[in-house]
Structure 1
């Protein structure tokens, strides 16, 4: 190999942050040292890895494949070290699970209880950061399994459908909309609308329900945590469109009400995603199988 591990760390960091300064801060070296390290890597390979685009560094076409390899390989090396330490200490395998977009963990106690016969060999942790940075947490190894309401398009991932769900309007139980058999987008024109993201996320309510109607929501408030949105709706401070499955507990407790979107509803499928590189990782596959059995018992 022509490159050392320090060069692969450089590739991953510059590819992620787009500048030597931010990459140097992330790695913990000076910008000057990182600049010399990049020059050394390019000298060893015989061609440029990055090119300047304004103030940013962008991988060359050939460099892009190296950056992608670094993003995949470094988490695997880190995982191998941690697995070695755990095995050497006779510890259980650690598998990290995240839920994308929604802070929906009402299912966790029942799922963990179903793992009682396997806990000697398996430890499961949950990663809150996946709510906002879903794809990155799976790509970097911060999570090993990602439960997501969208099938993320990334060639490094494998996915399995997990839950059949729907997007619904969430209101206070006494709100005038709560008794409607369904709503249409035009009903939302003058309401206080709460959203956890102002971005028009593909596959969600703006793209599939609001935008096609041509209406403009006049009163929008951004609340970055879905739990907080549900709490605000529970005291009649607005309405929102959310996953019905994600708010199961609040619906069961009748803190909020759910109303279908259009006469036919707006279906939503949740997926569980893993890295393809973990296809033969026993702990990840064991947890994946357990999730599929828990959500879809035969």
Structure 2
């Protein structure tokens, strides 16, 4: 590598502050030293990172590309150091976990209790940012496991099946549609409909239920937080199609109701996604096995009720 860590830190600081004076203060060096560092890095790499725009520095197109890498990589390195320090002094192994597509964590306390009983050296850390970009989060090592619905694992990612779920219509509790055995797309035509994302995801409601019918809800609003959608539905302001597992806590407390989609229903498989490069007995692989085991036990217990 032609650049050293101090050069990457320099790029990050200059990107964040936009001028030499503030970036130098943040790095704990003089403005002159920072100017020399910029010149040294540009000599090593054979090109310009910045061009002057008044008193500020503006990234060149090539400088912008390499700075984006610095912004992604340095936080990952900092987290790795923090984890090492913690694991070196304690016999714990931290595993970062996120949930794709739906921000639901009602099940976490029970799972942590299970992990503490079965493998107390594993410590769970939740990463909420993994919800929106699960594959990128795994590839950049900002998360170790992502619980994901309906995903086909790309190269470099392993998918471990966890449990079967279903997509359901979620309505206010005791809503007229909740008394139907199942609903059809036409039932959504004149009602306020909340969708979790404008992106058409393969295997979800738009592809498998709404689009084939040709009936599109007229009143659609995007709300990108599961909890917020539940609050709106509970207040009687509309309906949505969501994972039944994701809204289970609200269903149990009778804040909302759910209804099957179509005569056959629409299933949804959930999996644990991990990096293929992880060692066979890594902390993330251990936790993935515990996840699969815990969901199997939970499913058996629910079937007995």
Class of the TM-score when normalised by the shorter of the 2 chains: 0.7 to 0.9
1:60-209 alignment, distance < 5 Å? 80-118=80-118, 120-209=120-209
Q: TM-score, normalised by structure 1?
A: 0.75
Instruction: Give yes or no for contact 1:195–1:240 (8 Å, CA) kept in 2.
Output: yes
Correspondence 1:267 to 2:267:
yes
**Cα distance in 2, alignment partners of residues 37 and 159 from structure 1:** 44
Instruction: Give yes or no for contact 1:94–1:124 (8 Å, CA) kept in 2.
Output: yes
Can you list the C-alpha shifts for 1:229-275, whole angstroms capped at 9, x where unaligned? 11221221101000011111111222211111110111111111011
**Cα distance in 2, alignment partners of residues 291 and 114 from structure 1:** 9
Residue equivalent to 1:16: none
Instruction: Give yes or no for contact 1:135–1:152 (8 Å, CA) kept in 2.
Output: no
RMSD of aligned alpha carbons: 3.9
TM-aligned CA deviation for residue 186 of structure 1:
1.7
TM-aligned CA deviation for residue 103 of structure 1:
1.6
SS in structure 2 of the partner of residue 148 of structure 1: strand
**Cα distance in 2, alignment partners of residues 264 and 109 from structure 1:** 33
SS in structure 2 of the partner of residue 296 of structure 1: helix
TM-aligned CA deviation for residue 127 of structure 1:
1.6
Seen in structure 2, the aligned counterparts of structure 1 residues 145 and 71 have a Cα distance that, compared at 3 Å, is farther
SS in structure 1 of the partner of residue 194 of structure 2: strand
Seen in structure 2, the aligned counterparts of structure 1 residues 272 and 7 have a Cα distance that, compared at 3 Å, is farther
**Cα distance in 2, alignment partners of residues 153 and 10 from structure 1:** 36
Instruction: Give yes or no for contact 1:169–1:242 (8 Å, CA) kept in 2.
Output: yes
TM-aligned CA deviation for residue 187 of structure 1:
1.6
Seen in structure 2, the aligned counterparts of structure 1 residues 212 and 58 have a Cα distance that, compared at 3 Å, is farther
SS in structure 2 of the partner of residue 245 of structure 1: coil
SS in structure 2 of the partner of residue 147 of structure 1: strand
Instruction: Give yes or no for contact 1:71–1:139 (8 Å, CA) kept in 2.
Output: no
TM-aligned CA deviation for residue 91 of structure 1:
4.8
* Greater mean alpha carbon deviation, residues 154-163 or residues 113-122: 113-122
Instruction: Give yes or no for contact 2:194–2:229 (8 Å, CA) kept in 1.
Output: yes
TM-aligned CA deviation for residue 57 of structure 1:
9.1
Residue equivalent to 1:212: 212
Instruction: Give yes or no for contact 1:163–1:271 (8 Å, CA) kept in 2.
Output: yes
TM-aligned CA deviation for residue 125 of structure 1:
1.3
TM-aligned CA deviation for residue 148 of structure 1:
0.7
Can you list the C-alpha shifts for 1:81-102, whole angstroms capped at 9, x where unaligned? 3443123323521111111111
TM-aligned CA deviation for residue 167 of structure 1:
0.5
Can you list the C-alpha shifts for 1:207-242, whole angstroms capped at 9, x where unaligned? 221112112221112222111111221221101000
Unaligned runs of 5+ in 1: 14-19, 31-35, 48-55
Seen in structure 2, the aligned counterparts of structure 1 residues 21 and 229 have a Cα distance that, compared at 3 Å, is same
Q: TM-score, normalised by structure 2?
A: 0.74
**Cα distance in 2, alignment partners of residues 71 and 277 from structure 1:** 23
**Cα distance in 2, alignment partners of residues 8 and 154 from structure 1:** 29
TM-aligned CA deviation for residue 6 of structure 1:
6.5
TM-aligned CA deviation for residue 174 of structure 1:
2.4
